Amino acid sequence: MSHPATPPRHPRRFRGQHGARRVRRTLGLLLPTLLLAACTGSPAASRPDAAPASTAPQPTGPLCAALPTGTDPGNPSFLAGQPVDQALRWIPTLTTFEAAVRTSGALTDLPTGTDVTILAPSDDAFAAMFSEDNWDDLMTRHTDQLRTLLKAHLITGTHTIDDLVTAGTTTTLDGTTLTVTRTGPTARLADRADAVCADYRATNARIHIINAVLGALPKTAGDTDERAH
C-alpha cells in the first residue's frame, strides 16, 4: 500500500536580533549576485514547485465511475507507476483475471521489459462464462489451457483504445486477429466484447477492462450455475 505523501517543509522564520543579523548578512552576500543577474538579464532558476503538474491518467468508459478515483487506493495516477501485475491487484473488478494471470504465469511468457496491452475481462464477464466448479478446475488442473485463454487477451506493445480503433485490427499473443470498432463512447472488440473502462496505465502497460471473455474458450465454458465466484 502506498504511504501518505510527506507534508512540505516550510523554511523557519528568523527571530530577534540574531535573526536580523542573519538576514542582513545573507542579503549582503546575495546582493552582488542579484545585481549581476539583473544587469545581464539572466533568468532566475526555475522553482521546483513552478513546474507544470503532469497530466493524470484518465480512463474512460461506463464502468470507470464505479472504480477508484481521486486519492482513493488504486486510483489511476497511483496505478500508472506500478508494475502491471501489481496494478491488476488494485482494480477491484479484475480479481478473477488477476488471479488467473498470477496462477498461469501468462505474463512471464513475455520477454523482460516488453510493453504489453491487456484486454482484461471483468469478474462479471468470467461469471457469465464459467461455473464456479469449472473455473476452479481450470485454475487448478488445466493451467496450460488457462494460459492459452489469457494470451487471447494480451497484445505486444502499449496501445490506447483510440490506437486500436484507428488501426481497426490487432493481433493477440495467441495469434488471433481481432477487429476493433468504435461504438459510441467506447470500442467493441471482435464483435464480442466492449471496453467498459479503457486506458488504465501501468509501468510498460495499458489495461482495458472489457465485458466479455475472448479467445477459444475451454470446453467447460458456458456451463454456468447460479453461484458467483
Any idea what the CATH number is for the domain that residue 173 is in?
2.30.180.10
- The answer to whether residue 86 is domain-embedded is yes
pLDDT of residue 28: 45
Domain holding 73, by residue range, is: 64-210
pLDDT at 184 over 80: yes
Average pLDDT over residues 38-57: 42
- The answer to whether residue 187 is domain-embedded is yes
In whole angstroms, give the CA distance from residue 37 to residue 25: 19
pLDDT at 50 over 80: no
- The answer to whether residue 152 is domain-embedded is yes
- The answer to whether residue 134 is domain-embedded is yes
Average pLDDT over residues 154-158: 96
Number of domains in the chain: 1
- The answer to whether residue 14 is domain-embedded is no
Cell 536580523 found at: 20
pLDDT-based confidence at residue 212 (cuts at 50, 70, 90): very high
Average pLDDT over residues 173-186: 93
Beta-strand relationship, 116-121 and 205-210: parallel
- The answer to whether residue 19 is domain-embedded is no
pLDDT of residue 185: 83
- The answer to whether residue 56 is domain-embedded is no
Segments in the chain forming alpha helices (H): 16-40, 76-79, 84-90, 95-104, 123-129, 132-141, 143-151, 161-167
pLDDT of residue 137: 93
Cell 542573519 found at: 22
pLDDT at 93 over 50: yes
- The answer to whether residue 47 is domain-embedded is no
